[in-house]
Structure formats: structure tokens, C-alpha cells
Amino acid sequence: MSDLLDRKPGTRPDAKPYRRKDRAPRGDRPAWKEEPRAATRAGKAVVMVLAVALVLVPFWVVIATSLAPGRQIVDNGGWAFWPETWTFDAYEKVLSNEVTTRALLVSVGVAVFGTFLSLVCTVLLAYALARPRVVGGKPVMLLVLFTFLFPPGIIPTYLVVHGLGMIDTYWALFVPVLVNVFNLVVVRGFFQGIPEELYEAARLDGAGELRTLFTIVLPLSKAVIAVVGLFYAVGYWNDFFRGVMFLNDTSMYPLQTVLRGYVSQGEGLTSEFSAEGTLAQAPQAMKMAVVVIATIPILCVYPFIQRYFTKGVLTGAIKS
């Protein structure tokens, strides 16, 4: 009777009291159930510090080189780890260059307008392919996946763009890549994960497909749309190859195409700034300044979208 009174609620009468010595020996337990040892934790910390250093140190060298005086850069062989005197001469020269400022505006316009059009086309196509019993939905989905498995080459793409009369136009910078198949599959999987009862309720209220999309589906899909929008924006912002391939007028070049000429060939640096003694001797400062200017917009946008990143990608990928 005393055993019954002492027994904890919810335990069986014949249950044995838990004793620490009843646990399996340390060697018999799976590795993932073991407590990490001090050496293991220290090793993880060292690896993490090294990984962070491999990312931050080169980035800091780029920033420091862009802010260092030209004489120091020349003496150090083209780079600087810590500027002796902080100077923004390289940024002033780059931003005062008409080619760079025009290319910056072109890149901003292409990234904003292209991302908007890509999101519109991706969301509409993904919604249509996510709905059951859509006429022609399966053949269209197979065609979309076919382009993902067998992407077109450079020559066919150029012939299509040339045939559509988009050479030397800004349309050539985003129309050939208006819809990304990976982003389309992620958004489609997210839409398919929305409960069917919401669609039925909207249909009973008399809502059409567009109204259902804009009033029910899109408010629930902010995470995946933010992530896909980031993918599109980064792709448009970092692309330089389409500018080289489709634009013959150098005044229409986006920033990344101009940056490629600056970094790889030094075009527009030494000749334009030869009057500036130290800067002319160290065009590397100008190159690094252009790199920093091209990187800052993405660094400013990413922190606001980071919280949607994992949720949007994993939800769309798992439910697809």
C-alpha cells in the first residue's frame, strides 16, 4: 500500500524506479546522443572562426584597399590591409566618372523592373500550374521542366534575341531570363501546400481565380515571394554576360559589365585619372572601390529578407 502511495501519477504499478545506473553504457549509445567533449567543442569553434575569417578577411582587404592612399597600395604590391590614412579619393573619382554613374542607374533600373516582371510572371504561372484540373497544365509543366534539364546554349539564345529585335535594347537584359524554373517550382510547391479549404471557401464566396490569388494566396506567401524576389534581384544585379553579348553600345552597359572591364582589363581607369599622381599609380584602389559600390546594395537589402529565407525555400521545396 505504501508503494502505491509513493508511486508517481501516470506510472505503471510494475514500473521500476529510474536509476542513473540503468542507462546504457556510454559506448553503447549512438554518437548523436553523446555529450560533445571539450575538445570537440573547441574544434568546432576553431573551424567556425576560420570559416568566418576566410569570408571576412578578403572582404576587408577590398574595403581597406579602396580607402588606402595610392602610395601605400603601390608599396604593398597592389593591396592594403590597414590604411595608413583613410581617403575617399577612389570613390570620388569613380562616382564622378559619367560611365560609372550611368551604369549604376542602368543596373538599378534593370534589377527593379526585371525583378518586378519576373515575380509577376512566376507567380501567375506557378498559380496556374498549382491548381488541379487546369487545361494543359501537365504538358506545360513538362515543357518547363524540360528547359530546366536541357537549357539553351549561347548561340540559340542570341539567335532568338536577335530574331525578336532586342539587340542593343534593355529588354535583352531580362526578357531571356524572365522566369527561372527553380524559382517557379519553389513557388508552385508553396501554393500547393495552401489548404484546399481556403480555395473552396473563396469559390463559395464568388471569388474568381485572380481575386483568390490576390486576396488569399499572396498574403500567405510573403516568405516565398520575398526569397524568390531576392534570387531574381541578385541575379539581375550581378549579371554582366548579357550586357557583353547583347549590347553593342557601351553607354548602355550595366554596372557589372563596366566593373568587368575595370577589374579584368583596367579600362577607363589609368587613362581617365592619369592626372592624379598617386591614384594613377594605383588603379587597384579604383577597382576595389567599384567592387564595394557594386556590393553595397545587396548587403543593404539582404538583412531585411534573411528572416524569410529559410522558411520560404524549405516550405516550397518540401511541399513540391
- At 23-43, the pLDDT tens digits run 545 556 666 666 777 887 888
Cα separation, 192 vs 129, whole angstroms = 9
Report the SS3 class of residue 174.
coil
pLDDT tens readout for residues 176-221: 888 888 888 888 888 888 888 888 888 888 878 888 888 888 888 8
Which among 18-22, 132-136, 280-284 has the top mean pLDDT? 132-136
Q: What is the pTM of this model?
A: 0.71
Q: Which of 271, 262, 268, 266 is nearest to 293 (CA)?
A: 262
Question: Would the CA dihedral through 88, 93, 98, 102 be positive or negative?
Answer: negative
CB 261 within 8 A of CB 100: no
Cα separation, 268 vs 281, whole angstroms = 14
Q: Looking at residues 240-250, what average pLDDT do you find?
A: 86
Task: Give the chain's domains with CATH numbers.
Answer: 89-318 (1.10.3720.10)
CB 262 within 8 A of CB 286: yes
pLDDT tens readout for residues 96-127: 778 878 888 898 899 999 999 999 999 999 98
4 confidence band (pLDDT: 50, 70, 90): very low
